[in-house]
C-alpha cells in the first residue's frame, strides 16, 4: 500500500509538472503573439492577454517578472513602451514606473 502510494504520488507529480510545463509554454506563445499584435490589432492583443490570464489562474502558474511588468492588470493590455505605455525611473526610490496610456493605471517595479 505504501509502495502504491509513492508510485501514485510520483505519477501525480509527473502529471503536475507536465501540465505546468504546457501551461508555461502556452503562456509564452500567447505573450509573444500579443506583443506582435499590440500595434496593429490592440483588441486581439488584449484578448490574447485575457486568455493568458485565464490559463495562468487555472494552472496556478506564476508569470516571469519580464512578462508581469508588461501586462496592465486593469485593462488586460500588453504594455509596449513608446506605443501604449510611458516608462519612468524614480532612481531615488529605485522604482520603474509603467503607466498604461489606455487606462492610466501605474505599475511600480522595484529594481536593485
Q: Measured in Å, how far apart are the chain's first and last C-alpha atoms?
A: 51
- Min dist CB 74 to Zn ion, Å, is 4
**In the chain, how many H helices and how many E strands?**
3, 5
Give the span between the Cα atoms of 9 and 58, in whole angstroms: 21
Identify which of residues 5 and 82 has a Cβ nearer to Zn ion in the complex.
Answer: 82
- Min dist CB 2 to Zn ion, Å, is 52
Which residues in this chain contact Zn ion in the complex, by CB under 5 A?
72, 74-75, 100, 102-103, 105
106 Ramachandran zone, left/alpha/beta (phi>0; psi -120 to 50): beta
66 DSSP β-pair partners: none
Identify which of residues 26 and 105 has a Cβ nearer to Zn ion in the complex.
Answer: 105
Identify which of residues 49 and 61 has a Cβ nearer to Zn ion in the complex.
Answer: 49
- Min dist CB 90 to Zn ion, Å, is 20
Amino acid at each position: 500500500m505504501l509502495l502504491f502510494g509513492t508510485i501514485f504520488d510520483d505519477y501525480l507529480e509527473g502529471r503536475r509538472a507536465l501540465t505546468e510545463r504546457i501551461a508555461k509554454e502556452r503562456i509564452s506563445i500567447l505573450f509573444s503573439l500579443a506583443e506582435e499584435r499590440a500595434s496593429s490589432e490592440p483588441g486581439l492583443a488584449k484578448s490574447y492577454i485575457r486568455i493568458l490570464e485565464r490559463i495562468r489562474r487555472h494552472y496556478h502558474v506564476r508569470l516571469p517578472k519580464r512578462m508581469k511588468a508588461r501586462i496592465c492588470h486593469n485593462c488586460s493590455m500588453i504594455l509596449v513602451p513608446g506605443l501604449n505605455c510611458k516608462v519612468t525611473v524614480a532612481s531615488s526610490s529605485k522604482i520603474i514606473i509603467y503607466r498604461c496610456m489606455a487606462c492610466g493605471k501605474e505599475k511600480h517595479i522595484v529594481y536593485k
